[in-house]
A and B are shown apart, each in its own frame.
Chain A
């Protein structure tokens, strides 16, 4: 099995917590991603996904939600992270994600954010090896 660093996405897009929701939506579109890591200065404080924007901003537009809502108003916080310092494996990551009922986990190394691991990335990696194994089997036949 591959290790976390090989599978995780190293393309981490961050936004300050006082960014407007509309600006965040632009970032999601521009970078073709589903979530943004929210920062306050040097600290990572939360995460905003397409779902957060839909459920907590668009669906609330008639309940006097501020038109100028900022990411800190809709983000999921705190950010669940996992450190690579103790050499966790992919299984540890899956267990942690399910414990917290999340689909993405932030990966840190020596206190620095270095990537995001999505359940989907894990799955794609497994599906890939599954297909490769099938191909090998077919060749042997």
Chain B
């Protein structure tokens, strides 16, 4: 992820602008998890990979996405047991289907934001030729897109 502060150091009194290339803003590191795994396992994987979401895959098919928010709201807030996969599986709490946007249709971040707002989501799967190639996360989007430009 490009580091904004480095850009800042050189451009401190300049104007903010928006970078808008989806492919540059998305994360290409996609972590996956089996739908039958326990919620504990998914949290462990999130922590290990320092990521905020996992793609739920079963036999090479995308079943959905599980995010920090799914874990907090659907398990912890409901006091459900997260360690026993017999009682609660990732499948039970994932958000499904995964909403995607194809790079074959657009490369502009603004189109992605419109789609995220439409579905009220914070993670958008990015596909190319029908294959998942990245995830656009709202939280990283902001840091990436706030760039700096010379006042002209």
Instruction: List chain A positions with a Cβ less than 8 A from chain B.
Output: 1, 21-22, 25-26, 28-29, 34, 50-51, 53-55, 57-59, 61-62, 91, 94-95, 98-99, 103, 119-120, 122-124, 126-127, 130-131
Contact = CB atoms under 8 A, between A and B. Distances in A.
A58 B110 CA distance: 34
Given A25-B73, A120-B142, A127 B18 contact: yes
B18 to A, nearest CB: 5
Q: Is the interface of B mostly helix, strand, loop or mixed?
A: helix
Q: Is the interface of A mostly helix, strand, loop or mixed?
A: helix
Contact of A55 (B47, B75, B77): B47
Contacts of B141: 123
Contacts, number: 97
Interface string B1-39: 001110010001000101000000000000000000001
Contacts of A34: 69
B8 A94 contact: yes
Interface of B: 3-5, 8, 12, 16, 18, 39-40, 43-44, 46-47, 52, 68-69, 71-73, 75-77, 79, 82-83, 110, 113, 138-139, 141-143, 145-146
Contacts of A126: 16, 18, 145-146
A50 B18 contact: no
B77 A29 contact: yes
A127 B114 CA distance: 11
A18 B98 CA distance: 37
A123 B77 contact: no
B48 to A, nearest CB: 8
B76 A94 contact: no
Nearest to A21: B76
B16 to A, nearest CB: 6
B5 A62 contact: no
A95 B44 contact: no
A47 B130 CA distance: 40
A60 to B, nearest CB: 8
